[in-house]
A = this chain, B = another copy of it.
């Protein structure tokens, strides 16, 4: 019984192993060597069934209709948006869902979120359309109509794209600001991060740290 099902010269692995390696290579930050290590890990340690079950579950995942966080079911509001103990009048606008993890770890934030689903790229003029910006505007407007006030924290990264995105949102919300003086739009504070020494701080950060001294 001969196994002739190989993917050709150079590639010594069976086709189905090579196929799985190719899928893992597409994962963020994974190269061919680590991808093949993943496959041999699964072959050696088992757990393929468990992984398949878990991937099947992933297909049921939906997004919150208000803030776009993932949730077990499709449709409805997530556990934060439906939690009466969280402040519905503070909305942190973040680039992606994993940012909420770090915000929650601080234990210092009790408002809601709005997940943009990306950043505005200076090289992609279509990028604003891909973000949840229209729904953000509607959400804020509706909040202001009902409550007359709210705070939007533009919690994007301190990167070029993060800054561009925050600036863009600031402009999108500007008309609302004219009608509702109690719409507060803020950005995360800039300055020295934990562990920074002055000797290694860049000029912009140090300038911010000086301006924000207190």
Q: Which of A100-108, A121-129, A136-144 contacts B (4 or more CB under 8 A)?
A: A100-108
A48 interfacial by beta-carbon distance below 8 Å: yes
B101 with A36: CB separation less than 8 A: yes
Total identical chains: 4
In Å, the complex CA distance between A8 and B37 comes to 32
Given contacts A37-B98, A102-B199, A206-B103, contact A56 B52 (CB under 8 A): yes
List, sorted by A's number, 26 A–B pairs whose CB atoms are closer than 8 Å.
Answer: A2-B76, A3-B64, A3-B73, A5-B71, A12-B80, A12-B104, A16-B60, A20-B54, A26-B47, A48-B59, A52-B55, A95-B198, A108-B211, A109-B210, A157-B198, A159-B196, A187-B213, A189-B192, A189-B209, A190-B191, A190-B209, A190-B212, A191-B208, A191-B212, A194-B204, A212-B212
User: What count of chain A residues pass the 8 Å CB interface test?
Assistant: 109
